[in-house]
Structure 1
Amino acid sequence: MYVKNGTGVLKKVLLSKPEYLKATPINEIAKKWDLHLDIDKMLLEHELFVQAYLDNGVEVEFLDADADRPNSVFSRDFGGCIKEGYILGRFKEPIRYKEHVDYEAKMEELGIPVVARCEEGLFEGGDFAFLNENTIAIGMVARTNEQGIEEIKKAIEPLGYEVIPVRCKEEYLHLDMCFNLVDDTLAVAYKEGLPSEFVERLEKMGIEIIPVSEESIFAHGCNLQALGDKRVLSLKSNQYVNEELRKRGMKVIELDITEILKAGGGPHCMTFPLLRE
């Protein structure tokens, strides 16, 4: 048993440090910044991020940083983890191709089997979201396509999963930039950017949505990481969302991260869950 849902108690994660990260202009956020980010500041921010996990009982595994895969700090994107093993995705951007090889080798080292892989289509883990233990939403935004989703469905639907494609505007990059489940029946989302049938599905499942503006997508307002037991990692700058979460009984662990964000990813993007109870 590895990861059975998106909101159970998180016990183990796979991360990678931002030693070679640059604001490569491959998404709408990174296009606004200089390519050369403050490495020392990013490393300090990442240390605080790691410490937040350790303080909350989460074991941390690392893939060593590598200059040939500068974006591997966004470990979420190489695939998705389910209870039987993991799904190996396929990157759209050439700058990320080496991540396929190195993350697959790391998962083999950790003894976690591949249960599905994208060979022809595209899939990145920022588009992967459990809605419950048997229902998985996969965004079709900028870097996951229909062919990739079909390859995943063919592999995991026989295991009892329902896979729901969710098409969003390409500028939003990944589903986790505009929708995130933070507790069993609580999500943060830009509702107007999601397909109406998906929003209706969430409502039927009894999932309450804390609404955010379209602008908050690009400030990582939805890019939160659920820890389980009503705990969530968020950004210190995310004041409105954090207050709304607290009103609903959530414990919000605030991260003072700003520099890493300039490359286009937040706490959720930087986390690949390996074990949830």
Structure 2
Amino acid sequence: MFVRNGTSTLKKVLTCPPTFLDEAAPINEISKKYQDQPLDKAKLLDEYQQLLDAYAEAGVQVEQLTPQESMTNSVFARDFGGCVKEGYILGSFKEPLRYAEHAAYEEKMAELGIPKILEVKKGLFEGGDFAFLRENIIAVGIIERTNMEGFNELKAGLEPLGYQVYPVPADSRYLHLDMCFNLVDDNLAVAYEEGLPTEFKELLNKLEIEIIKVPEEAIFQHGCNLESLGQHRVLSLKQNKDVNNALREHGMEVIELDITETLKAGGGPHCMTFPLHRV
């Protein structure tokens, strides 16, 4: 048993230090704004340490990929694939900048003894688009980095294992599903609701998942890029004051991270985390 859903108790994750993240490569709407500015390396490393400290405090074991110069964006560990209870799915990156991560993460997962149950080869699939709604129900964003061909490969590989897999198309500016929608507790999500397709909203309603609504601009401030720790706990950003207050009003314990520099490259706490084990 590896990862059985998106909100049970998180026990182990895979991350990667931002050692070679020197600039915000203009490969998404957020990083384009910072493409001519060097990133503050000391701040990046401090923010990464904050994430590690938060996981240690929460009782989550952290495995780390060794950073390499050829993998500038490998701090966003989420994107190489997805993990289910049977093993992991190896994705297919859209951006050439990230191609080197494919083999590095595959090698790391083999080292960790986690079986590869499926690889997306013909289409595109990145882990930021992979979201559990229930133990057997998975939503997949069709936004900017995952396409229908990749989705169809995922669906064909997961359906025989008993999973229902649903596509969630959205505006390409949103990059990944985890930028505009995130399940933070069994029946609670944070999302820019107006940006989600009707069929998906109907599915959420049928599953009785309540949505904490955020405005569109919150997407680009990583307002939805939260990591559920299970047991009504969630990692969020200190700057997300409205979201954090709303989460607390819904009975969530919010662990705030003061991360700002890493965001310039286009990812937050959820992007930085690949779950390996949830119980």
CA distance in 1, matches of 2:105, 2:270: 17
Q: Which consecutive unaligned segments of at least 5 residues does structure 1 have?
A: none
What residue number does 1:192 align with? 194
Q: Could you tell me which amino acid in structure 2 is paired with residue 183 of structure 1?
A: D
Percent identical pairs in the alignment equals 64
Find the aligned partners of 1:198 and 1:152 in 2 and give their Cα distance: 18
Q: Does residue 1:58 correspond to 2:60, yes or no? A: yes
1:112 aligns with 2:114: yes
Which TM-score applies when normalising by structure 1? 0.99
Confirm whether residue 41 of structure 1 aligns to residue 35 of structure 2. no
1:2-21 aligned at under 5 Å gives the runs 2-21=2-21
Report the counterpart of residue 181 of structure 1 in structure 2. 183
CA distance in 1 between partners of 2:196 and 2:88 (Å): 26
Shift of 1:154: 1.1
Give, in whole Å, the separation in 1 of the partners of 2:131 and 2:74: 20
Kindly report which structure 2 residues correspond to 1:164-179, keeping only aligned pairs within 5 A, or say none: 164-179=166-181
Segments of 4+ moved more than 4 angstroms:
none
Instruction: Please give the residue correspondences for 1:1-277 in structure 2 after superposition, counting only pairs within 5 Å.
Output: 1-21=1-21, 22-33=23-34, 34-277=36-279
- For 1:207 and 1:126, locate their aligned partners in 2 and report how far apart those are by CA, in whole Å: 20
Q: CA deviation at 1:35?
A: 4.6
TM-score (norm 2): 0.99
The secondary structure found in structure 2 opposite 1:243 is helix
Equivalent AA in structure 2 for residue 148 of structure 1: G
Q: Secondary structure at the match of 1:102?
A: helix
Structure 1 Cα separation of the partners of residues 73 and 60 of structure 2: 23
Distance 1:13 1:56 in 2: 12
Q: Deviations over 1:115-163 (max 9, x none)?
A: 1101110000000000000000000000100110111111110000000
CA–CA distance in structure 1, aligned partners of residues 91 and 37 of structure 2 = 26
Aligned to 1:32, the other structure's residue is in SS state helix
The residue type paired with residue 144 of structure 2 is: A
SS at match of 1:18: coil
CA deviation profile, 1:46-104 (whole Å, cap 9, x unmatched): 10110000000000000011110100000000000000000000000001001100000
Question: Which residue identity is paired with 1:269?
Answer: C
> Residue 179 of structure 2 aligns to which amino acid in structure 1?
M
